[in-house]
Amino acid sequence: MKYQKKTVDIVVPCYNEEEVLHMFYQETQKILDTIEDYQFRYLFIDDGSRDKTLFILRELAASHPHISYLSFSRNFGKEAGIYAGLKHTVADYIIVMDADLQHPPALIPTMIEAVKEGYDCCAAMRLSRKGESKIRSAFSRIFYKISNRFTDVKMEQNAVDFRIMSRQMVDSILELSEVQRFSKGIFAWVGYRTKWLPYENVERPAGKSKWSFWGLFKYAIDGITAFSIAPLRLVSTMGCIISFFAFIYIVITLIQTLIFGIDVPGYVTTLCAVLFLGGIMELSIGILGEYIGHIYMEAKDRPIYLIKETNLPKKHAAVSKAADEYSHRNEENYDTSTME
Ligand code: UDP
Ligand code: MG
């Protein structure tokens, strides 16, 4: 592979983004055209979209040699999309950004300047959460408070998944091969020198957000359990504290019984104790269950994504066996001119 200029791969996960894809390409390309000395390539990941996303990507790839795409066999989630994208990049620098133009392409030149200055990474962070529901902002604040307090990785609260990273940093990220991925934590965990780039939140020009409240809640729990065993410690600490008070209470009750004889009333105390301890036990089993669930999913070691179709040249596409066979039958799908 002969590259004269430094190369930058832009990884864009897309799920049902037919309404914004053309706009995304035009807006981003307008900015990229102003940057010299760097050669850009797009790598779109169609995350099992049910609309015309894949169709549009095929069209874009057919008419622009610097556009490649991977298409999953079903929806695997944005995390899988980012992972697959990073895995198939070959450039000196890699940008990850959303397809919905909520990550302003206008920040790209500043990001490039930052890596030129010697930073390994330049990541965008929102100045405000304008346009987001109050409940979602409040829960997100609580999540970052809890996870930054109890986990070793310090996550920037307003960070978004829009960043440029050096090849070295991306290779480090790819070494973390866990199946249940939490990119914000992984980005923070690998370290490297990061420059933060604040920007005003932008609303989607079209299409809608794929996140539901429960989806985010689950994601937050996964985030904490993936990076910390603090909840398990909490269970054992709670056990110690409760046992300590239980012991004191037992001693007091025993002495009372010995001095005053058996005191029959105690219905309320008994009921409270049973309910309280029952609750604590359910909670503790739940916390243990979360971790066991994680171990179970990781132990199965299933692939993080399955590629159904791609226009990447075969040598760069670490495609699954099934996709490989598909490609033999569809050799014309591969546009090798992109990777000269
Ligand atoms: N996305 C994806 N797979 C999914 C959900 C979302 O690839 O299962 C992509 C989506 O197409 C977009 C980015 O992830 O490019 C962010 O999604 P969205 O705008 O829905 O999230 P929000 O901006 O509301 O956090
Ligand atoms: Mg969005």
One pLDDT digit (tens) per residue for the chain, 340 residues: 554 788 999 999 999 988 889 999 999 999 998 988 899 999 999 999 999 999 999 999 999 899 999 999 999 989 999 999 999 998 899 999 999 888 999 999 999 999 999 899 999 998 877 766 777 778 878 888 887 887 778 877 788 889 999 999 999 999 998 888 888 889 988 989 999 999 888 777 777 777 777 887 888 888 888 888 888 888 899 889 988 888 898 888 888 888 888 767 777 888 888 888 888 888 889 989 989 998 998 899 889 999 988 888 765 554 444 444 444 434 433 343 444 3
- Please give all residues whose CB falls under 5 A of ion ligand 2, grouped by chain where several chains appear: 100, 102
Q: Which of 54, 210, 214 to mutate to test the pocket of ligand 1 (most atoms within 8 A of CB)?
A: 210
State pTM to two decimals.
0.79
15 lines ligand 1 (CB under 6 A): yes
211 close to ligand 1 (CB < 6 Angstrom): yes
Ligand 1 centre to CA of 67 (Å) is 20
Residue from 285, 160, 140 nearest 219 by CA = 140
102 Cβ closer than 6 Å to some ligand 1 atom: yes
Q: Is 14 in the pocket of ligand 1 (CB under 6 A)?
A: yes
79 lines ligand 1 (CB under 6 A): no
Residue 129 CA to residue 13 CA, distance in Å, equals: 22
Q: Which atom of ligand 1 is nearest to the CA of 100?
A: 15
